[in-house]
Amino acid sequence: MAERRLVWLAVGLIVAVLVFMTWGARGNWGFVFTFRGTKLLALLVVGAAIAVSTVLFQTITANRILTPSIMGFDALFLLFQAGLVFVLGGFGVTQLSSGLRFAMEFALLMGAALLLFGTLIGAARHDIHRLVLTGIIFGVLFRSLTSFIERLIDPNEFAVVQSSSFASFNSFDADLLRYCVPLCVLGISAAWHYRRELDVIALGRDHAVNLGLNHKRAVLIILIIIALLVSVSTALAGPVTFFGLLVASLAHLVVRSHRHATLLPAASLCAGIVLVGGQAITERVLSLSVPLSVAVEFLGGLVFLTLILRGTQR
Amino acid sequence: MRSLVQIAAAAVLFAVPALADTLTVETARGPAEVPASPEKIAVFDLSAFDTLNALGVSVAGSVDKAYLGHLKDAHEKAEVVGSLFEPDFEAINAMQPDLIIVGSRSSEQLEPLSKFAPTIDMTVWGDDLLGLAKARIEAYGKLFDRADKASALSAELDEKLAKARETVAGKGKAMIVMTNGPKVSAYGKGSRFGWLHQALELPEAVETSSENSHGEAVSFEFIRDANPDWLLVIDRSVAIGAEGARADETLDNALVAETTAWKNGQVIYLNAADLYIAGGGARSIMNTLDLLIEGFNKPS
Amino acid sequence: MSLPVRSATLLALLGLAAASLFVGVIDMAPSQLLRDSEALKLIAISRLPRTLAVILTGASLAVAGVIMQMLARNRFIEPTTAGTGQSAALGILLATLYAPGAPLALKMGLASLTALLGSGIFLLIVRRLPVTQPLLVPLVGLVYGAIIGAGVTFLAYRADLLQYVSIWLNGEFSGVIAGRYEFLFVSGVAAVIAYLAADRFSILGLGRDASISLGLNYNQMLLLGLVVVSVITALTVVNIGMIPFVGLVVPNIASRLLGDNLRSSLPFVAASGAGLVLVCDIVGRIVRHPYEIPVGTVFGVVGAVIFLWLLYAKRPSHG
């Protein structure tokens, strides 16, 4: 049952990819294929990274509402962008090389993630509940500082903050992709490697310990995987805040399974469909006048609500 | 021997057009080598579009919206090759422009766009807005081989500036505020809009340091306490084409009413698109100066 | 709550309110009130409205937070989770785009209406969710808010109004002046209604089955609760902007100190909400005088510190 649904998702993704690659192509095909191919690769990798990290996060925190993005990582990213413009000025920011900026963002997010997870894991009793709350609190803190900066800067500088506040998949630095893709693949394969342990963790801490799992160590490893995936995908593309929540929930709705061997690919496939389809729509229908995350959150959100409401009617 | 001459001749033959084909212009990121007299240009910056239009250069491709009233006609003739933030790379590739110009909001796209055609960043940024705007005019004049028109435009700008300076001289202190719905920000002389104070030698109602280059959140008490003789008002909600917005309503209250500016009707509403969307464009600057001249000349 | 605590809270609140009257850009000492008519005018036009607005906002937001957490049976839900803030932003945008010349009060009214409408639709959706999965409520709330938020971004991005919306919704009292805050009294009334129905909300917090077996009209109370929360949130967001944490921190402190009996804890919740926001607003007026730091930012920092302290200083009860 779950496997058959996976196949359907895969078919959906193939259709989305075909539409994305061929719709409204202009100019010579060689260019269009390489150009769109690069974007496609980035979309799929980032989508899978967000999907996998969200599923992992929800498993170890035993909740289906919070994701690393909602908990404060996106807020930190946005504060960083606004702070950068505040300090360097809008023009100064646009002159930074994309490689340097990526390295700074990646280091910042990774550092924050490890600090947040590390201090809590290091404490005598480790307490996921507190971890989540701490994340939420920092998220609100970052957001309120960001909005203060947005209050002060002039409209032109705001425009610079704005353009880096939304995920963009329109153009990618091929050099960046060369580093990001292997990192994401590494994280995703590690997650796949631990799929059985994840099934056990999902049963709750006591069960997991009774079943002989070194719970603390396993959680730590998974937190590191999450930190890696979140940092790489956010630094590469920018935040798509509700995307993780959306695809993880969609995956649960579609496959209705608690096995990570099914859940992880299902979430990744959903992510691929939503991102690739969303990008095709932003490019062709909305002619790039709005960021992808808007289309993703709007359309994906509607799909999610419809599924929930139809599911409850039965 | 003969072959050597041939080689030399060939070298000269190839070298000469190469020399004539490129020239160096001053851009926001230093001098840049660009092809001379480019025919097909794509522009992702409205102040650049504005100045080019004032020089009579036709633009082949630009962003999806005109934003400025006086650019509407020129914009209609241009093909859409993206938005202010996101270039449509496939459209650019299909168009094959000779030169791409980015600036301010699109400045970040310099690197990706330069894979398609020579791309220059003509941002007008910082507090020396007028100086940079004139430098851009000169650069475009050189680039598009119309130095005469460029110096005429520069002179026109200087003339307008002198007139504005003369008009505002001795008429009191001013304060630049921006309204956001019910809230107000005040901008000092070091800010994005500070050139109005600096270039026009218009004194500030509240002295600000030039390091303080941002818009501050202020209360109406602040405006009442500063008691400016002139209020220069920018309405953040007057975005593209939203005519008749009501900055006056935000300011129309018991505290602002006690300022000299309000009592004497010395409140000038500036055009947001001219000020910050196409902030460094030649025509936009002149429009702003015209508004000021008209406002300050109004008998009170 | 013991009488000393109660009177101490009240005294502190009154002291803060008095201090708030004499903090501002224009210098004014309390002694001037007696002989200076200008000073009295300033109090009437600017200081008193601001102080009242702060108290109304702080108190009603904190009450809305408590009610929302009872309804969702989740301590970490904020009243803005139901898409109210985003709906208000949508109203502001639509009014600005399609009726740019309309008076400010009309725009605010329209935004309050869309905020209520947004919460109303959320309510309709929630009622169709299975009661067996209480987790779905906040989840649907988040996604619902994200959908409306995407709509807002869509419109604002294209019209270059994102900063406008962001500043309008940035919680601060700098724009408050006589004639610009009176809507907030309605949210004060909503908070009083919540207090009058406090016992029934306490029962509601026990869950659907328990409430029904105790003879409560569950659906009716749920509706009342959501209307109260929506009215308060909508009016605050439109008039003042978002102030983070008030609806989250204060109820959590109160429930730690006083337990979940709403009738005895709600006045304390309201007073501490008002007091905390007052402190933050006064700080925001002083730190960068004569400029202001929005109260939302100050509270963001202060609230974060308080919450972290709560979280780490004591052993959490849910440990």
Q: What is the pLDDT at residue B175?
A: 95
Q: What is the pLDDT at residue B258?
A: 93
Chain B nearest-CA distance from C92, in A, is 9
CB contacts, 8 Å: A83 with chain C: none
CB contacts, 8 Å: B240 with chain C: 159-160
CB pairs under 8 A between B and C: 114
Selected residue of B85, B109, B210, B275 to mutate for chain A interface (largest A Cβ count, 10 A): B85
Q: What is the pLDDT at residue A106?
A: 92
pLDDT in tens, C122-164: 877 877 777 666 667 777 887 888 899 999 988 888 888 888 8
For residue B17, being part of any structural domain is answered with: no
Mean of the per-residue pLDDT values for chain A?
A: 86
CB contacts, 8 Å: B123 with chain A: 91, 94
Q: What is the pLDDT at residue A271?
A: 95
Lowest average pLDDT, out of B43-47, B244-248, C89-93, C262-266, goes to: B244-248
CB contacts, 8 Å: B244 with chain C: 100-101
User: Are B118 and B60 members of one domain?
Assistant: yes
Task: Report the length, in residues, of chain B.
Answer: 300
Check CB contact under 8 Å for B185 and A151.
Answer: yes
- List, as ranges, residues 120-159 from A with C-beta within 8 Å of B: 151-157, 159
Give the residue among C100, C109, C114, C66 at the shortest CA–CA distance from C228.
C66
pLDDT band, very low/low/confident/very high, at B212 (cuts 50, 70, 90): low
Distance from the Cα of residue A158 to its chain's centroid: 24
Q: What is the pLDDT at residue A273?
A: 94
pLDDT at C188 over 60: yes
**Placement of tokens 């994701």 in the chain:** A67
Residues B202, B187: Cα–Cα separation, whole Å: 14
What is the architecture, at CATH level 2, of domain C44-312? Orthogonal Bundle (1.10)
A169 touches chain B (CB under 8 A): no
For residue B283, being part of any structural domain is answered with: no
Number of Cβ within 10 Å of residue C118's Cβ equals: 26
pLDDT in tens, A49-77: 999 999 999 898 877 777 888 778 889 99
Check CB contact under 8 Å for C143 and A301.
Answer: yes
Task: State the average pLDDT over residues B108-127.
Answer: 88
Q: Closest chain A residue to C152 measured between Cα atoms?
A: A294
For residue B285, being part of any structural domain is answered with: no
Check CB contact under 8 Å for C175 and B250.
Answer: yes
pLDDT band, very low/low/confident/very high, at B213 (cuts 50, 70, 90): low
pLDDT band, very low/low/confident/very high, at C316 (cuts 50, 70, 90): very low
User: Are B176 and B147 members of one domain?
Assistant: no
pLDDT at B104 over 90: no
Amino acid at C298: V
**C316: CB partners within 8 A, 6+ apart:** A127, A129, A130
pLDDT band, very low/low/confident/very high, at B17 (cuts 50, 70, 90): very low
CATH number, domain with residue B247: 3.40.50.1980
pLDDT band, very low/low/confident/very high, at C310 (cuts 50, 70, 90): confident
Q: What is the pLDDT at residue A116?
A: 77
Lowest average pLDDT, out of A186-195, A252-261, B207-216, C221-230, goes to: B207-216
For residue B284, being part of any structural domain is answered with: no
pLDDT in tens, A5-49: 999 999 999 999 999 998 887 767 888 888 899 899 999 999 999
pLDDT at C107 over 80: yes
Lowest average pLDDT, out of A193-207, A224-238, C205-219, goes to: C205-219
Chains that touch A (3 or more CB pairs under 8 A): B, C
Q: What is the pLDDT at residue B191?
A: 85
pLDDT in tens, B176-192: 999 888 899 999 888 88
Check CB contact under 8 Å for B217 and A160.
Answer: no
CB pairs under 8 A between A and B: 99
pLDDT in tens, C264-288: 889 989 999 999 999 999 999 999 8
Check CB contact under 8 Å for C175 and B219.
Answer: yes
pLDDT band, very low/low/confident/very high, at A123 (cuts 50, 70, 90): low
User: Are B151 and B28 members of one domain?
Assistant: yes
The side-by-side arrangement of strands in the sheet containing B174-180 is B215-218, B183-187, B174-180, B230-235, B267-270
Q: Closest chain B residue to A96 measured between Cα atoms?
A: B108
For residue B32, being part of any structural domain is answered with: yes
> By the 8 A CB rule, do A56 and A221 touch?
no
Check CB contact under 8 Å for A140 and C153.
Answer: no
Residues B275, B287: Cα–Cα separation, whole Å: 9
Of A134, A290, A309, the CB nearest to C158: A290
A29 touches chain B (CB under 8 A): no
pLDDT at B13 over 60: no
B225 touches chain C (CB under 8 A): yes
User: Are B176 and B149 members of one domain?
Assistant: no
Rg of chain C over CA atoms, in angstroms?
A: 20
A26 touches chain B (CB under 8 A): yes
CB contacts, 8 Å: C294 with chain B: 217
* Domains of chain A and any CATH numbers: 1-311 (1.10.3470.10)
Q: What is the pLDDT at residue A124?
A: 42
For residue B7, being part of any structural domain is answered with: no
**Domain final residue, candidates B155, B178, B204:** B155
Q: What is the pLDDT at residue A67?
A: 83
C98 touches chain A (CB under 8 A): no
Task: State the average pLDDT over residues B257-286.
Answer: 91
Selected residue of C147, C172, C249, C291 to mutate for chain A interface (largest A Cβ count, 10 A): C147
User: Are B227 and B144 members of one domain?
Assistant: no
Q: What is the domain extent for residue B87?
A: 22-155
CB contacts, 8 Å: C308 with chain A: 134, 137
Task: State the average pLDDT over residues B247-258.
Answer: 88
Q: What is the pLDDT at residue B37?
A: 84
pLDDT at C318 over 60: no
**Domain final residue, candidates B92, B123, B155:** B155
Mean of the per-residue pLDDT values for chain B?
A: 86
Selected residue of C124, C126, C135, C162 to mutate for chain A interface (largest A Cβ count, 10 A): C162
Check CB contact under 8 Å for B250 and C163.
Answer: no
Strands B183-187 and B215-218: antiparallel
Percent of chain A with pLDDT over 70: 94
pLDDT at A200 over 70: yes
Taking CA atoms, A95 is separated from A162, B14, B109, B110, B136, in Å, by 16, 35, 10, 9, 19
Q: What is the pLDDT at residue B299?
A: 62
For residue B182, being part of any structural domain is answered with: yes
Q: Closest chain A residue to C300 measured between Cα atoms?
A: A141
pLDDT top residue among B85 and B241: B85
User: Are B182 and B148 members of one domain?
Assistant: no
Chains that touch C (3 or more CB pairs under 8 A): A, B
Strands B41-43 and B61-62: parallel
Check CB contact under 8 Å for B214 and A162.
Answer: no
Domain count for chain B:
2
C102 touches chain A (CB under 8 A): no
pLDDT in tens, A206-223: 888 888 888 888 888 998
Give the residue among B123, B153, B162, B147 at the shortest CA–CA distance from B289.
B162
pLDDT in tens, B137-166: 999 999 999 999 999 999 999 999 999 999
pLDDT band, very low/low/confident/very high, at B1 (cuts 50, 70, 90): very low
CB contacts, 8 Å: B188 with chain C: none
B218 touches chain C (CB under 8 A): yes
Of B219, B249, B277, the CB nearest to C104: B249
User: Are B180 and B253 members of one domain?
Assistant: yes
Check CB contact under 8 Å for B192 and A156.
Answer: yes
Task: State the average pLDDT over residues C286-312.
Answer: 88
Percent of chain C with pLDDT over 90: 31
pLDDT at C259 over 80: no
CB contacts, 8 Å: C138 with chain A: 65
Alpha helices in chain C (DSSP H): 3-21, 32-35, 37-42, 48-72, 84-98, 104-127, 136-159, 162-168, 184-196, 198-204, 208-213, 218-239, 246-258, 262-287, 295-313
Q: What is the pLDDT at residue C34?
A: 78
> By the 8 A CB rule, do A300 and A278 touch?
yes
User: Are B117 and B87 members of one domain?
Assistant: yes
User: Are B65 and B106 members of one domain?
Assistant: yes
User: Are B184 and B151 members of one domain?
Assistant: no
Q: What is the pLDDT at residue B19?
A: 46
> By the 8 A CB rule, do C147 and C125 touch?
no
pLDDT top residue among C192 and A136: C192
A95 touches chain B (CB under 8 A): yes
CB contacts, 8 Å: A151 with chain B: 185, 215, 217
- List, as ranges, residues 156-215 from B with C-beta within 8 Å of C: 180-186, 206
Task: State the average pLDDT over residues C213-222.
Answer: 85
pLDDT band, very low/low/confident/very high, at B11 (cuts 50, 70, 90): very low
Check CB contact under 8 Å for C154 and A143.
Answer: no
pLDDT at B15 over 50: no
User: Are B65 and B183 members of one domain?
Assistant: no
Selected residue of C21, C46, C108, C160 to mutate for chain B interface (largest B Cβ count, 10 A): C160
Taking CA atoms, B216 is separated from A115, B183, B184, B245, C298, in Å, by 34, 11, 8, 22, 15
B250 touches chain C (CB under 8 A): yes
pLDDT in tens, A246-289: 899 889 888 888 899 999 999 999 999 999 999 998 888 887 77
Structure tokens at B240: 């593209």
For residue B229, being part of any structural domain is answered with: yes
Q: What is the pLDDT at residue B9?
A: 47
Chain B nearest-CA distance from C69, in A, is 31
The side-by-side arrangement of strands in the sheet containing B79-80 is B79-80, B61-62, B41-43, B99-102, B119-121
pLDDT in tens, C6-55: 788 889 999 999 999 999 888 888 888 778 888 888 999 999 999 999 99
User: Are B122 and B51 members of one domain?
Assistant: yes
pLDDT band, very low/low/confident/very high, at C106 (cuts 50, 70, 90): confident
Give the residue among A176, A144, A160 at the shortest CA–CA distance from A84.
A160
Alpha helices in A96-154 (DSSP H): 98-122, 128-152
Q: Closest chain A residue to C318 measured between Cα atoms?
A: A129
